[in-house]
Chains A and B, each alone.
Chain A
Amino acid sequence: MDMLLQALAQGLLMGGTYGMVALGMGLIYGVSSIVNFSHGDFLSLGMFLCFSLYAAFALDPYVSLVFVFPALAALGALVYRFLIRPIVGNHLLMIIQLTLGLSFLLQNGLLMVYGGQPLRTPSFMESKLLILGDVVVRMPLVIAFAASIGMAGMLYFVLTRTDLGRSIRAVQQNAKAAALMGVNVSRVQLLTFAFGIALLAVAAVLLLPGTPIHPNQGMRYTVITLMTVVLGGMSNFAGILLGGLVIGLAEAIGTIYVSGVSGMILPYFIFVLIMLFRPAGLLERQG
């Protein structure tokens, strides 16, 4: 029972961050119809940048966010402007190939620079624990959850109460009509992509303390994010957050009861199950 409570706590907390990352990917997909297969690798890049900032300046990851956020935002904007925009409108497979290629580029680039050994980035938070009754959770995880929910809340506010947010939703729902209203559609698409990537800097900083990193981890995050977005019905805000919690829970419960790699199968299993019965997404109206 204790183990289950532990798994639940951990899963929910982790799920919050998965949800936030997935919101970024979902936003990009909704606005530009791009499935970014390199999403997890940008997250990975963010983590490695934090590591380097620690190695060079002894900066704690939470502090590094100030530098990594704009760095990833700028990188995202450049990637969109020069790599992705030229082929938007072409066959979906071309875009998938591009982002997959980007994924390999990032992974191997990181491998070249940092080598294949797992690296640890110290943080003042990493060994702090939160103890509630019989449940022990690492403080960084609690912070990650709080920050992720906070970001999601902020994103929700921007999307529903500001003109920029309405423009983003408008482009998502009907890009042509949005253009006819005077929305600069390509600028919205660029900003959304850059923001989705910059959000990964936040996730990187939140997930980094206490986690050893290695260059190949990107794909794992990409797959988790993809599953979360699909569970959420691709563009349903609440659905994606809920999907994150589901995946986080499935992962935690799976690994607590079955150790090692086999435990990680549970999220995929749950994913397939849910897709069988609710193919349009957790909260979407079916049919």
Chain B
Amino acid sequence: MLEVVNLTAGYDGVPVLHDVSLNIGEGELIGLLGANNAGKSTLINCLSGTLPARSGRLLFQGVDFTRMQAHEVVELGIIQVPEGRLVFPQMSVRENLLMGGISRRARKGRARAIERALELFPKLKERYSQPAGTLSGGEQQMLAIGRGLVAGAKFLMLDEPSLGLSPRFVQIIFQNIKQLHQEGLTILLVEQNLSLTLAHASRCYVIERGRIVVQGTSAEIKDDPRTRKAYLGL
């Protein structure tokens, strides 16, 4: 479904990703692992079109979207739930969800999609008219994922969903992610939390200093000594 071919990218002339290639099949839940600043968010931002690629190609269902701008990428169905949630703080939960469906493609089924998101996250119904900035971290994460669903994601990228959440909320969020996957959503999970990701993803890529150093099934990754090295520098 999604193909990354020899992607090189960086900020202000400093390359962060070097020749990264990966492959995600439809319906898979893939993990992207790596330590801080390994290049995980950089990769996700390239996929979203918020960071231009220096070289390489990005393909989605056969369509080359390397040069597309962020709002065009959203129209393809590639949706990012960003690190830190990035909800619109002074807009209500309702308005945040409405914004999720702002793209042309999502606007048609928006009301129904919002209902679905509220079914999945009943907590949001309670807070429907509250400004999103007043929600707890876990609730904001639910809102951010809900927003992504309203956007009609065919391919959902989650950047560090467990960051800053209490263990209880991490459990809830990951249960929801599992459920979405079981319903057929293709997911790329970027996480520092090794064990959680290995428990949910079928395959993983490990990225270290901008390069893919290990890839394989979760079982293979778990036992691979290079994974530990990539995380702890040992």
Contacts and interface: CB of A to CB of B under 8 A. Distances in A.
Interface of A: 163, 166-167, 169-170, 173-174, 176-185
A180 B88 contact: no
Nearest to A171: B88
B88 A179 contact: no
Contact of A182 (B75, B82, B87): B75
Contact of B86 (A169, A174, A185): A174
B214 interface: no
B89 interface: yes
A181 B99 contact: yes
A9 to B, nearest CB: 35
Contacts of A183: 71, 99, 102
B151 A182 contact: yes
A173 B89 CA distance: 7
B80 interface: yes
B2 interface: no
Contact of B99 (A170, A176, A185): A170
B71 A166 contact: no
B170 interface: no
Interface of B: 48-50, 69-71, 74-75, 79-80, 82, 86-91, 95, 98-100, 102-104, 106-107, 147, 151
Contacts of A167: 99, 102
A163 B106 CA distance: 13
Contacts of A179: 48-50, 70-71
A177 B50 contact: no
Given A166-B95, A166-B99, A183-B102, A177 B74 contact: no
A180 B103 CA distance: 10
Nearest to B95: A166
- By Cβ-Cβ distance, the 5 closest A-B pairs, closest first, are A182-B103, A182-B74, A177-B86, A179-B70, A173-B88
A285 to B, nearest CB: 12
A170 B71 CA distance: 14
A169 B48 contact: no
Nearest to A169: B91
Contacts of B99: 166-167, 170, 178, 181, 183
